[in-house]
Chains A and B, each alone.
Chain A
């Protein structure tokens, strides 16, 4: 049994419903080195999820605020086999009350990620990008805030739960979602990409989408749905019925586990382990079985 096959079997053992995932919680610098070449034994595809870049943030939680994203871009570019595409699940920029500064941050972010070797990149907004102007600046730079695309048999749906500052998807978008789902066979392989959790993860910290349950209700009749999102700055896995929801790490600062402390303040930077808690994720799709193997990567390879 080669390394890749061994890894595949491990991932199946770690299965959660119809989805498998792996978690590299133990080390921040060694994950990439332990993983076989992505896709080397598979015919399927993989993509990379990057999230919560918060470009423009400054503060003690990340003394390398201007260097972290370029390091992450370099880390993705150094993957031996490049992903089919990359998704950014929101909060590309840190919020500002100044519309001109918002656009400046978006332009800088766009310039940095243009260095990615993979040029197929799908963006979506977070509340920091879009909630103060209902997505206007985001759309100027990155296009629509909700859309679909298809890749090798998987239907991807990007949902916008941030342009409404009240954390609503809204009736119009829900109707659009229902119409899109209505065109698909019931057993279609569906991946939803969004920023906020669609379920009530921890509403006390605004970790929810107020009408997210309506979207989940629309998705539930389909047996092969998986959701990838950001917002909470940490790896997290949850099931609503048979739908798996996977939250990604941030590329600026980690946040505490839900409800683990009184306030949702960033975790402190650890000089002994810089970039701890930050990273990006590889998602390996096995289309036939609608399974997704997740591997977490650090910002900086050791």
Chain B
């Protein structure tokens, strides 16, 4: 195999990885739980997310309408949620309790009530 072909194969593998990031992620870490959360003006579904302390989880956010945010300051986690894309937030909760998350991108007249809770138990 000449150098040019090797280079192409590496590039193709990178492109495949990028295109199938979700699949690649799952195959690389099959034990991680994935929780899908749908945002729309002005709530999240589900509005309550139950997690276990020390157990990794990936939150997958989508929005049904406008740009939203996910912010859980107590867990040091946030992400933009863009229309047509999946926003992934990996979390390993290091404490128990009930923690508020909210939309931190002003999205309309009900924005200030757009929040949910993450409940972390032992």
Contacts and interface: CB of A to CB of B under 8 A. Distances in A.
B109 A165 contact: no
A4 interface: no
A205 B109 CA distance: 16
Given A165-B67, A166-B69, A264-B112, A204 B100 contact: yes
B25 interface: no
A263 B114 CA distance: 11
A203 B102 CA distance: 10
What class of interface size applies to chain B in its complex with A? 10 to 19
Nearest to B113: A263
A95 B67 contact: no
Interface in A93-143: 95-97, 127, 131-132
A167 B111 CA distance: 13
A131 B66 CA distance: 13
Interface string B101-115: 010111111011001
A204 B112 contact: no
13 contacts: A95-B106, A131-B106, A162-B106, A165-B105, A165-B106, A167-B105, A203-B73, A204-B74, A204-B100, A205-B102, A210-B104, A263-B115, A264-B112
Interface of B: 67, 69, 71, 73-74, 80, 100, 102, 104-109, 111-112, 115
Please name the 5 residue pairs, one residue from A and one from B, whose CB atoms are nearest each other, closest first: A131-B106, A165-B106, A203-B73, A166-B105, A97-B109
Interface of A: 95-97, 127, 131-132, 162, 165-167, 200, 203-206, 210, 262-264
